[in-house]
Amino acid sequence: MNLIVLLHTQTDGSLPKAAFEAVTAAKQLNTPFAVGILGANAKAACDQLADAGATAYYAAEGDALAQPRYATDVAAAVALVKAAGADVVVAPQTLRFARALPGAAYRIGAAVDTHVGSLTAEGDALRVQRWFYRQRILGSFTRSARPWVLLVDAGIFEPFTAGAGAANATVVDAGITAEDERTTVTGVQAPSADGQTIRPDAKLLFVAGAGWTKKQGDGNMHLDEAAATITGFLAKSGASLGSSKSLVDMPEAAKVFSFMSHMNQVGQTGSTPRHPKGLATCCHGEEPHVVGWRFINERRAVNTDPNCGWAQGKADVVYVADAFEVMAKVNALMGQ
């Protein structure tokens, strides 16, 4: 096996956390590997991995690669894989690589598998695990096809702790043509840090369900109070915000819960995020929702209904309580 760990820098020249995780994924194979990095300041970024134990370092950098762009990223990825003579490519499943590497794989006639959750070496062969059918079936397989490109999901491997050093990376010409640069990145539109409620690196997933919009004990709805309580907790805890389908489908909730969108929906027709802990509030815990909690290790729920779905063996701890009261108290305690 001739292995390369293929990485990219971010626009500021730093390596994303997922890059260090991909290094760990490769190192635990106990097979010699090269490192290839594309993007802004890629050669300097190789130095960050100088003590990773790679046999060789390759970098593709320059203005054309400073921004993520499909055509130029594909050209650079192909050039780096060829320079290393690699037949197995391990790369992080970042947005940038999820977009570009399947195209690069096609150019070099490689097989490609995305969302890899585990990889082990069996002699010269590799065994890979990934989930299928919305995380219901765990597949374990190997391929004889080479080259083979593997995109490793973030949040699975411990990030490699880098020391300083000099990697003496070989700078590779990505062979970028004028045509590759037809698309221009004119800027980035991103919500403000507070508005960004989906935080993949957060320790806690905080799920808000439709109960926040229901008539409460006094016979009234308390949408503004609900919105303030939820956003207050998110700001204090740094938790990532998840939702049930019922809540994001509700037009009246959309007006008040403007911080919430369908992107937050967790479940069968939503996302399957990875976080060490999860807290569900005002959410019933029906199976189509809870199936999205497959990768949440410790689960707790606050619900007024002692017979809610969470209490049917779906959560480690269920607090039978009013989430308005509980979260107001939690916010007050965190504010101290």
Ligand X SMILES: Cc1cc2nc3c(=O)[nH]c(=O)nc-3n(C[C@H](O)[C@H](O)[C@H](O)COP(=O)(O)OP(=O)(O)OC[C@H]3O[C@@H](n4cnc5c(N)ncnc54)[C@H](O)[C@@H]3O)c2cc1C
Binding footprint of ligand X on the chain (CB under 6 A): 209-211, 214, 216, 244-247, 265-270, 282-284, 286, 288-289, 292, 302-305, 308, 322-324
Least distance from ligand X to the Cβ atom of residue 94, Å: 24
Q: From residue 219, give the alpha-carbon distance in Å to each of 145, 213, 281.
A: 64, 12, 19
| For ligand X, the closer CB: 16 or 211 | 211
Return phi, psi of residue 253, to 5°: -65, -35
C-beta closer to ligand X: residue 203 or 262:
262
Alpha-carbon gap, residue 158 to 111, rounded angstroms: 26
Separation CA 106–CA 90 (nearest Å): 16
Q: Which is nearer to ligand X, 49 or 239 (CB)?
A: 239
Backbone φ, ψ for residue 243 (5° rounding): -140, 160
Cβ proximity of 92 and 6 under 8 Å: no
| Shortest Å distance, C-beta 156 to ligand X | 22
Closer residue to ligand X (CB): 44 or 321: 321
Nearer to ligand X, 52 or 247 (CB): 247
Smallest separation, CB 209 to ligand X (Å) = 3
Q: Closest separation between CB of residue 281 and ligand X, Å?
A: 6
Q: Whole-number minimum distance, CB 334 to ligand X, in Å?
A: 19
Tell me 157's DSSP state.
S
CB-based burial label for 230 (10 Å; 0-12, 13-18, 19+) = buried
216-248-250 Cα angle (round to 5): 60
The set of long-range contacts for 131-140, using a CB threshold of 8 Å and a minimum separation of 24, is 134/268, 134/272, 134/291, 135/272, 135/291, 135/294, 135/295, 136/291
Closest to ligand X by CB, 72 or 244: 244
Complex with ligand X: residue 173 or 287, whichever CB lies closer: 287
**Least gap, CB of 199 to ligand X (angstroms):** 19
The Cβ of residue 307 has, within 10 Å, a number of other Cβ atoms equal to 10
DSSP β-bridge partners for residue 113: 150
Q: For every residue of 200-216, which 3-state class applies, written as one string?
A: CCCCEEEEECHHHHCCC
Give least dist CB 254 to ligand X, A.
Answer: 14
